[in-house]
Structure 1
């Protein structure tokens, strides 16, 4: 975080505010748990969850906006063991799907528990700093891991995504690592399969949309089962492919009340239970003219994420 400078402006003069870490690790954990959805886009489930025979306690368990299980670990400063701890608890999670589903059911509801996406569980490590070795390590590990640094400036908390690894790309199914599937139940078709079956002009349009979204240097791309996610700490956009309608369906993190909506192009999706970004604006992009109309809205979504 040494590249982040914060200044207080008074009477045209700038005075630098020195950043600090929290006094104790639990203070950081409690602060983020109380505001997890706003800060990280993750619905908080439970704190200090005991893992039985693994003889550990997961700092926080959550469910992200993609319906993916999330393990969150905290360190007030720099600690190379935070990634190892997260990986150990990920091993527990792979063996305890039903236990996690029970937590989700009790905290959020049966519908959320039934729709958990087990294809690529996620680890989020929050710490005062990470080393270059940490960043290289998550590239080699091959699991879905985010490294997030924090700093406190007076009453301002900053979070910065310093590295993110997408992990193993999901297949067409919702589950992974021998997750149970009822016999005779076909795997749902993945967004990649829909894209592969799409006409060439729609694939070209998806490629152009991809370039627009990734033109923002800190936006990460992750292919999920049902959509392609573009995110910073939280999702910026989620993209689904509808070959039959020859459109790309794009959900953006925007307040619908702040956007002029147009029939057939944009709509308010609050309360509709959509995949990906649930409470925002949906765009239907079927042409390059539609894509051009979407650029300014995409920029707003990036700034809001």
Structure 2
């Protein structure tokens, strides 16, 4: 169980707000499905989707994440030893029914979204009242993208989500520095000299913000996420490196030539704040912005 304690303050007094589980599993499912993009960074596609008479099951939720990866979401009211295996069962079905999922995405999100579905890293998100240490170990033994998310209700108006474990399917979020640096070097290898070194330093800085960070790759950008993306780094250009953050541009104090509000403007990756890095000095200036975006994710 989470060690987080929440307190309500009023008139100089402090009272603890006791955490509680949902009355029924459906309460969690309905809440998250209604606000899936805000809560999980996943666009909702379908609920209680039947997998046919041969497979004989129902997927709690289907979605498409910020990086265009298909997502299976499974919910449990409390602790359930079978949630990971059940989710992987449905993930395997999804991989065998790509065209069917594509039709669902097209009907719900449009043809453009369906054309961008990225099958290289489908995700499983398990939302439950709690997980055991065996669950946390098990996800790190699978070569799949899996997030374990603990929920809690507080009073009648607050709900908390906490990422317990997250793996990318290749290396765990807590992977060794050697593996992280090797991947960073591969990304930076598209550039030469100073920009390659700067890209590797940005990778190390973003991964160093916390133990719950996972990194996903595609040809247009690299995404760093907790449960949702908090930073996207584009391949290095000749003289600069572009990083997009989930920080509010209106609250950061824009600096010409360093930060730019790209709200509503087309760009690769996610986030409304563009940070332009040209040197190690710029990276030092950007550290507080990186942490601000990480904290908000």
Alignment of 1:158-237 (within 5 A): 158-168=160-170, 195-226=188-219, 227-237=221-231
- 1:118 corresponds in structure 2 to 119
Residue 286 of structure 1 pairs with residue 274 of structure 2:
no
Q: Normalised by the size of structure 1, how large is the TM-score?
A: 0.87
Deviation of 1:12 after TM superposition, in Å, equals 2.8
- 1:262 corresponds in structure 2 to 255
Q: Normalised by the size of structure 2, how large is the TM-score?
A: 0.89
How far, CA to CA, are the matches of 1:275 and 1:191 in structure 2? 19
Deviation of 1:168 after TM superposition, in Å, equals 3.3
Residue 274 of structure 1 pairs with residue 267 of structure 2:
yes
8 Å Cα contact 2:188/2:197 also seen in 1: no
Deviation of 1:192 after TM superposition, in Å, equals 7.2
Deviation of 1:111 after TM superposition, in Å, equals 0.7
Q: Superposition RMSD on alpha carbons, in Å?
A: 1.9
How far, CA to CA, are the matches of 2:184 and 2:198 in structure 1? 15
Alignment of 1:1-305 (within 5 A): 1-52=1-52, 53-154=54-155, 155-168=157-170, 195-226=188-219, 227-243=221-237, 245-277=238-270, 279-305=271-297
Quick check: 221-230 or 14-23, which moved more? Answer: 221-230
Instruction: Give unmatched runs, 5+ long, in structure 2.
Output: 172-182
- Residues 61 and 216 (structure 1 numbering): CA distance in 2 closer, same or farther, change over 3 Å? same
- Residues 194 and 6 (structure 1 numbering): CA distance in 2 closer, same or farther, change over 3 Å? closer
User: Counterpart of 2:19 in 1: which secondary structure?
Assistant: coil
- 1:177 corresponds in structure 2 to none
- Residues 221 and 143 (structure 1 numbering): CA distance in 2 closer, same or farther, change over 3 Å? same
How far, CA to CA, are the matches of 2:108 and 2:170 in structure 1? 28
Deviation of 1:273 after TM superposition, in Å, equals 3.9
Instruction: Give unmatched runs, 5+ long, in structure 1.
Output: 170-189
Equivalences, count: 283
User: Counterpart of 2:268 in 1: which secondary structure?
Assistant: coil
How far, CA to CA, are the matches of 2:184 and 2:48 in structure 1? 35
1:149-171 residue CA offsets vs partner (Å, 9 max, x unmatched): 000110210000010011037xx
8 Å Cα contact 2:235/2:241 also seen in 1: yes
8 Å Cα contact 2:124/2:145 also seen in 1: yes
How far, CA to CA, are the matches of 1:201 and 1:122 in structure 2? 35
